[in-house]
Amino acid sequence: MAKGVNERSSFAVNPEELVKGLPESERTVINVFRKCGPSVAFVTSVMNENEDTSRNRRRRSSRREPLRNETKKDSTVAPRGRSLGSGSGFLVSSDGYLVTNYHVIERAHRMNTAVFNYNENIKDLVTNTTKFFLGSEAGNSKTANEFINKLRNQTVERLSVQSSSPNGKPRATVYVRINSSKQFQECRIVDVKPELDMAVLRIVSEPEAPYPFLKYGSSSDLLVGQTLIAIGNPFGLDQTVTSGVVSATNRPMTGIAGNRIPNCIQTDAAINPGNSGGPLLNSAGELIGINTAILSTSGSNAGIGFAVPSDPVEEAVTIMIQKDRVQKYKRPSPGYLGISVAGDSLAKSLQLKLKSGSKSVENEGLGLFVTGVADDSPAANLGMSQLEITKEEGRIILGDRIVAVGSKIVSTRSDLEEDMKARVEGEQISLTLEDPKGGRRVVYLTLCAKTL
């Protein structure tokens, strides 16, 4: 039977065919969105209420609809309470850790921590007061001790505030919706750093498959005029993409904690309410900042937006996640070598001096320049030497250099950092070192626990 004119037919189109005729600049933005969009989330926090209060609120305002989680695995329903704010966020690990602005979830965090801190203070106050007034009676008899303990416990119970809402949830809950999904997933607040207007979240349920996550770029290498792409949820509009350039670098900005955040990135990429906490990306799709604030007289985009640079964010986030994995999930502590090495800029400068035959640097060689060795560390126990600068002449005297970790050659600091991220406490590794005279040796050491 021949097909009717109105019958529907479908066919697949290669996405690359759709962008083939577009300019390179447009293809760059499209490719970055395709690559990074699935890692961007809508973040919202709400104050939990009991069922009766929620039902009354729905009657008063029929426009408000419950946010339902439609998956069978997780039947969580976003609380039918008051909204405490929303914004954007992004995944930074395959197991469900996200980053957002602190001010996006600030009200939820303050609400939960205020109750906890109050109850802890009440417990300390009652315990100390009981010891002060009845301490002389304690230890006289078993009956006296039982009476004092009972009195203390009853007093604490009566003065304490219930840390959870009547439905058993915390006072406030944070939810995320990833990549325009209709599914809201409950998160817990891992840690916050108001000084950087940054917070780390973790999806409560374990993932069925690894989450796509963003990779960090270097915010210190940005140039004015460089292309930037922002992805977020302005005014609740999921997966909104805007692009612009680096308008300026090293802009100071006052953070949510009232402190000065240095080296912020100024951009003309459109940033509006709801973009807060979303990623600012370079043309390679690497995270170089967190969209945080705008300068505007109307409250909407005026072409002046600011982002917290990724370099300090990456350092803080890495520590928070490592600490949470150790404490919450009983993962092994990260391995610690106990050295610091020269960054790319310093390494290039030293290499140029070496190649030019400058007398200000002695002993040419290969490998990462060791610039510091921590006391009582595995590196110190091996007798590794570090770069030194003479006080009289300002001459640089090189120490050991790291050529390889195991069989892997390391040529940049990021190479070493990436390798060490996978190492854990108690792991034995081998290092190929080159001394100031050019002699090489292979040493073996056991990593200790990294203090978090």
Q: Which residues carry out catalysis?
A: 103, 197, 276
DSSP letters of 316-371? Answer: HHHHHHHHHHHHHH-PPPBEE--EEE--HHHHHHHHHHHHTT-TTEE----SEEEE
Closest among 235, 193, 269 to 33, alpha carbons compared: 269
Which residues share a beta bridge with 190?
A: none
Q: Which residues contact 369 (CB under 8 A, 6 or more apart)?
A: 341, 342, 346, 347, 350, 387, 398, 399, 401
Backbone phi and psi for residue 156, each to the nearest 5 degrees, phi listed first: -60, -45
Report d(CA 269, CA 278) in Å as an integer. Answer: 13
Residue pair 234/104 in contact by the 8 Å Cβ criterion: no
32/366 Cα distance (integer angstroms):
36
Rounded-to-integer distance, Cα 312 and Cα 100, Å: 14
Give counts: helices (H), strands (E), the chain.
9, 23
Structure letter (DSSP) for residue 68: B
CB within 8 Å of 2: residues ≥ 6 apart: none
Q: How far apart, in whole angstroms, are the C-alpha atoms of residue 365 and residue 352?
A: 12
* Element housing 28 (H / E): helix 24-36
Nearest one of 96, 65, 101, 100 to 83, comparing CA atoms: 65
CB 261 within 8 A of CB 72: no
Q: In sequence order, what are the beta bridge partners of 87?
A: 43
Which amino acid is residue 423, in one-letter code? R
Which conformational region is residue 245 in: left (phi greater than 0), alpha (psi within -120 to 50 degrees), or beta?
A: beta
Q: Residue 217: what are its φ and ψ, rounded to 5°? A: -110, 180
Q: Helical H runs in 20-89? A: 24-36, 51-60
Residues ≥6 apart with Cβ < 8 Å to 149: none
The Cα 150–Cα 13 span in angstroms is: 73
